[in-house]
Amino acid sequence: MLEHHIRQLCMTHEEFVQHAQDFAQDNREPGTLSLRHLQRLLSGQPLGALRPATARLLERLLGEPITTLLAPPKTVADNGENPASELRQLLNIARRVDRSVITLLHQQLDDIRQLDRQLGAIVVRDELNTKIRQVERLAAYSLAPGTREPLAALLSEMHTLAGWQALDLGDLPHSWQHYEHSRAAAAQSNSIPHESHAAAEQAFVLIDAGATRDAIDLLDGARRRADTAAPRILRAWLAAAHGEALAAHGDPTASLHAFDRAADLLPADTTDDRPYVALDPVHLARWRGHALARFGHPDAITVLTDALNRLDPSFVRAETALHVDLATALATNGDQDEARSHADHAAQLATQVGSARQRRRVTNLLAAVR
């Protein structure tokens, strides 16, 4: 039955082992599972008795008692089914996906985004990964282009959010993998905006890894593809992302020019376009302020303070980053006490939402200002 569950998840054995490891880490389960161990379990030849911690991990992960999971699969005579009938069932389920179902799935993703930005990735990561597997399964068995392509576009957006969550949790390898999946899904969707967005988000993994030149090159390509085929809001977002990469690379003049382009492109109406990006005048000011703080620019404190005062309070992770940037700008300006105040507040927020990325920034900053 364990093999049956893995097949139902549309995962390879390697992917299931990684899924189990992620689940154990997120839920503080001590159980472990290696690929070799899984293969022996599936073949009915385990290396001795199964450890209780591993049994508990599999039970929590799959929602079945371990005795059921390790039982041999039922025969065709037992359950009246065969692989062909199972395939027909999966195809029939996918065939029922229509515009209303896709709209509902987008709404569910938007709800996850809302929880993510208020409560942090650690709260909704499992829910998002479950939703990804659900949509992957629907897309894999969907035959109609009018259904398969929108599902692929949705899947691309889900993986970009999962990639950002992994980046925020400090897990760069998994973040990179999610963006690879996002780019592959975007290619299947035949949507240049989704392809450009996925590639651009992947550039932030490169920035965090210190590969800023590679990030700039990746963003250059994404912007060129999007120039004539993407909505203004996405092109503005891509220009701002380019500005951040240039700032990280230490090129203030080119960075500020990129932010000027983003401001010129930003439309009055920033809603209802896909793929989703969080960009409006406040977020753009926040982004520009981050670059100014990197440069030690004298306008950084004013720009960041204004952005903090106008920020939607539901964007807790963004608020955390703003406090870090303000602390950086204040420390550069010689105001150590105020810098420590913002850094301490950022540390509290980062702990609340489980942001390893912002905690790392705060730790480095506090070491410099204490």
Closest CA to 206 of 227, 233, 179: 179
Mean of the per-residue pLDDT values of the chain: 90
pTM listed for this prediction: 0.80
CA 275/CA 368 separation, integer angstroms = 39
pLDDT at position 77 is: 42
Neighbours of 267 (CB within 10 A): 14
Average pLDDT over residues 202-213: 98
User: pLDDT digits over 7-21, tens only?
Assistant: 777 677 887 888 888
Average pLDDT over residues 280-293: 97
pLDDT at position 81 is: 56
Peptide bond into 275 cis (omega under 30): yes
User: pLDDT digits over 341-365, tens only?
Assistant: 999 999 999 999 999 999 999 999 8
pLDDT at position 327 is: 96
Q: What percent of the chain has pLDDT over 70?
A: 95
- Residues 210, 173: contact at Cβ < 8 Å? no
Q: Is the pLDDT of residue 75 over 50?
A: no
DSSP-assigned states of every residue in 45-57: --SSSPPHHHHHH
- Residues 194, 209: contact at Cβ < 8 Å? no
- Residues 202, 183: contact at Cβ < 8 Å? yes
User: pLDDT digits over 217-265, tens only?
Assistant: 999 999 999 998 899 999 999 999 999 999 999 999 999 999 999 999 9
Tokens 């703080």 sit on residue: 293
